Amino acid sequence: MHHRQSKQRTNTSADNFQLERFLPYQIRCLYTEIAGAVSAAYEKKHGISPVEWRVLATIGSHDSVTSAFIAVHASTDKVAVSRALVKLRENGCVKASEEQSDRRQKNLSLTPKGQKIYREIVPEVLKVEQSLLSGVSVDDQEVMVRVIDQITINAGKVK
């Protein structure tokens, strides 16, 4: 596989700024496209919002979690997580039980209805993922994961 060595951008002048080449802009555009494609797999059929899906998926991929864990793991603010949990609990998808060591904390888990919805949605979003990665070699996918991981680490240092 041929890798092109890219030069680090060193010019910080507004004179040469190209929004379309600006990494945060590119990632935002990519996110918007991907989010639209993925949400089509669950929004209409299940009436679940993207935030509700991230909450459901986080709980579904772990046995029992707290809302604080969901907020961090799903990279979603606590208020949005709280609103999603209210709706998911009202719809009978999520149940809460008190944490033994801290009664203020609630352990959240999926109900049988929530598990059924989760198991229906996962194959659909994985199909979307396969479509998104169509034409991208396994090697390039591995490079992409490493690059995304490194950018994530770097972003954490910049904050």
CATH number at residue 101: 1.10.10.10
- Answering whether pTM is above 0.75, one says yes
* Domain-embedded: residue 16: no
* Domain-embedded: residue 4: no
Nearest-angstrom CA–CA distance, 92 and 110: 9
22-69 tens-digit pLDDT: 999 999 999 999 999 999 989 989 999 999 999 999 999 997 899 999
* Domain-embedded: residue 15: no
Residues of 43-64 as b/e, b for ≥16 C-beta within 10 angstroms?
Answer: eeebebbbbbbbbbbbbbeeee
Q: Which two tokens stand for residue 89?
A: 């609990």
pLDDT score recorded for residue 123: 96
pLDDT score recorded for residue 97: 86
* Domain-embedded: residue 8: no
* Domain-embedded: residue 74: yes
* Domain-embedded: residue 129: yes
* Domain-embedded: residue 12: no
